[in-house]
Amino acid sequence: EAGVAQSPRYKIIEKRQSVAFWCNPISGHATLYWYQQILGQGPKLLIQFQNNGVVDDSQLPKDRFSAERLKGVDSTLKIQPAKLEDSAVYLCASSPDRARTDTQYFGPGTRLTVL
């Protein structure tokens, strides 16, 4: 079974530029998560989707971050405009069942560097 796919793996941009990340979850997984992991810290949930609906986006900085999962499969996370403090690894995870948070499978992440 293929795992969670993310692209790109690395991205370097200048502040105030825009950037987008893509995630393809494990086939059949209805729940998709985006996490931000700042160097030296644990992952922090940004947004959770159930199929194509948002379950929790309480920690998403909505003035600059947006995410969508239009067809309930793959998802994109966008930052516009980027700030220096957005430098982090952005992890995507998926789960077959939102009730079983322990069944989250993580992708390899996209490392973003904002200069």
The amino acid sitting at 1 is E
Among residues 1, 2, 28, 41, which is the contact residue for another protein, using CB under 8 A? 41
**Residues 82, 19 contacting (CB under 8 angstroms):** yes
**Residues 66, 82 contacting (CB under 8 angstroms):** no
Q: Which stretch binds another protein (CB under 8 A): 17-25, 67-75, 80-88, 99-107?
A: 99-107
Joined tokens for residue 15: 């502040």
Q: Which of 99, 110, 96 is nearest to 43 (CA)?
A: 110
Q: Does 53 bind another protein (CB under 8 A)?
A: no
- Of 70 and 99, which CB lies nearer to another protein in the complex structure? 99
Among residues 24, 34, 104, 114, which is the contact residue for another protein, using CB under 8 A? 104
Chain centre to alpha carbon of residue 76 = 7
Q: Does 106 bind another protein (CB under 8 A)?
A: yes
Residues that bind another protein (CB under 8 A): 4, 9, 40-45, 48, 55-56, 59, 91, 93, 98-99, 101-102, 104, 106-109
